[in-house]
Amino acid sequence: MVSHSELRKLFCSADAVCFDVDSTVIREEGIDELAKFCGVEAAVTRRAMGGALPFKDALTQRLALIQPSRDQVQRLLAEHPPHLTPGIRELVSRLQERHVQVFLISGGFRSIVEHVAAKLNIPTTNVFANRLKFYFNGEYAGFDEMQPTAESGGKGKVIRLLKEKFHFKKIIMIGDGATDMEACPPADAFIGFGGNVIRQQVKDNAKWYITDFVELLGELEE
């Protein structure tokens, strides 16, 4: 069992920190916002998920209901850009000042996540998310099923890839959901985040659970 103080040490000496995006780095759930914008009730698409389906099947069903066009995705970003969670901008820049690599790993969509990454000065090469596909006329054509984030357990796969590619010694995963918690291992530590939404399972099982990024900033200042 890793103690709380060991977890804090791990966080302060990490060479890479990976953040989930929806309800963690941003306040919204990207797919729900996209559904609403496209005139589909988010609840309907959530019902399609039901919890019993593997992630890829659920994503396929939700997107089949939403059918977002390229134009709709671009308009969503222009008219209703995602809101950054308070404190995330400061935390990311503090980590970057310490030469820690920051990654965004999301089951959401690359076009939205890249928009968020740009606001946080995170290079697009450090973004892992699902890629929507469009026909030449801009209509929805599915999503890239080869991305690791399209699979159940995809976040763990990405972290394993990062370790192999960059030989990171200590990777921390931060997120609000069960899929983030399941990415540890291979992540060396998991920090649960409940600043936008509290998921009881994560709150009960995360060894370190925060509701404000200020707490992590404080650890780095000490």
Cα dihedral across residues 173, 178, 132, 186: positive or negative = positive
Query: C-alpha distances in angstroms, 7 versus 50, 71, 100, 123?
Result: 34, 44, 17, 27
Just list the catalytic residues: 20, 22
Whether omega before 81 lies within 30 degrees of 0, making that bond cis, reads: no
- Nearest to 178, CA basis, from 67, 91, 55, 61: 55
Cβ neighbours of residue 112 closer than 8 Å, sequence gap 6 or more: 21, 30, 34, 73, 76, 77, 82, 129
Q: Which residue has the tokens 């984030």?
A: 149
What DSSP assignment string belongs to 86-122? TTHHHHHHHHHHTT-EEEEEEEEEHHHHHHHHHHTT-
Q: Are strands 209-210 and 189-193 parallel, antiparallel or unpaired?
A: parallel
DSSP 81: P
